[in-house]
Amino acid sequence: SDRPRPLVAGNWKMNGTRASQAVVEAVRDGLDPALAGRIDVLVCPPATLVGAFAQALAGSAVRVGGQDVHAAASGAHTGCVSAEMLADLGATHTIVGHSERRADHHETDADVRAKALAAHRAGLIAILCVGETRAEREAGRTLDVVRGQLAGSLPDGATAAATVIAYEPVWAIGTGLTPTAADVAEVHGLIRRELAARLGEEGARIRILYGGSVKPQNAAELMAVPNVDGALVGGASLKAEDFLGIAAAY
Ligand code: PEP
């Protein structure tokens, strides 16, 4: 089919220590080779673990990514990590613009766009997150908010090889709540149209992930929604069995 190759990505957030390497080793060893032939699988641990995980997963089908990058390659930015530094450790991807970054660190669309460009500069695939808050959904502003975030944070000339969009309704993250299949279809359809309008044929090939309380039990239903090309998984990515269960739905 013409469907883009699915991507199942785990966002560990600020969780995990060196002992957690057992989890990614279980993902690596438990991933069915036939499934690995069909989908991409990615784990995004805290930056402290990217190097060790990349070594543990070298030669396997599981990739390692960061959760955020600074826009600059290096310099006077105490506490920050650049895309080049993550790439140097063996990362292949990075999340940018996660709602927790937008909220906790006041990241604007322009900031997120600069981070996506930094990821591309360093050869990383940028997973760019968008999504409305509960108040925005209740006010009927979901499509306007997502359209605006995409317009402001997606770099011109983004390619399908280097760019993934993740639709993550803020109210669905870590809450056990998910939008209906119809609601997911509406937003993913909007994103697809916006990508095609901005980027033409290339935009039609950019993967659009759904994120927000994805579990093994709801993954198949979400994956069946048109224009859902995979999942960005928070809580359930911390357990190998759950993460593999979600991947198996694809
Ligand atoms: C996330 O934060 O990217 C996420 C989707 O979290 P959860 O799966 O826990 O809702």
Q: Return the pLDDT at 250.
A: 86
Q: Whose CA is nearest to atom 6 of ligand 1?
A: 234
**Residue 209 Cβ contacting ligand 1 at under 6 Å:** no
**Residue 16 Cβ contacting ligand 1 at under 6 Å:** no
d(CA 112, CA 56): 30
Active site residue 188: no
Q: Return the pLDDT at 3.
A: 85
Alpha carbon of 80 to those of 69, 84, 88: distances in Å? 7, 12, 15
Residue for token digits 């613009």?
97
Kindly state the tokens that stand for 184. Answer: 């997911």
Atom of ligand 1 nearest to the CA of 168: 5
CA of 171 to the centre of ligand 1 (A): 10
CA quadruple 146, 151, 152, 155: dihedral, nearest 10: 130
Task: Give me the tens of pLDDT residue by residue for the chain, a chain 250 residues long.
Answer: 578 999 999 999 999 999 999 999 999 999 999 999 999 999 999 999 999 999 999 999 999 999 999 999 999 999 999 999 999 999 999 999 999 999 999 999 999 999 999 999 999 999 999 999 999 999 999 999 999 999 999 999 999 999 999 999 999 999 999 999 999 999 999 999 999 999 999 999 999 999 999 999 999 999 999 999 999 999 999 999 999 999 999 8
Q: Where are the domains of the chain?
A: 7-247
Q: Return the pLDDT at 2.
A: 74
Known binding-site positions for substrate: 11-13, 174, 213, 234-235
208-211 long-range Cβ contacts below 8 angstroms, 24+ apart: 208/164, 208/165, 208/166, 208/167, 209/7, 209/9, 209/127, 209/164, 209/165, 209/166, 209/167, 210/166, 210/167, 210/168, 210/184, 211/11, 211/129, 211/131, 211/166, 211/167, 211/168, 211/172, 211/173
Active site residue 98: yes
Active-site residue among 98, 120, 132, 194? 98
**Residue 234 Cβ contacting ligand 1 at under 6 Å:** yes
Q: Whose CA is nearest to atom 4 of ligand 1?
A: 234
How long, in residues, is the chain? 250
The class that CATH gives domain 7-247 is: alpha beta
Q: Return the pLDDT at 189.
A: 98
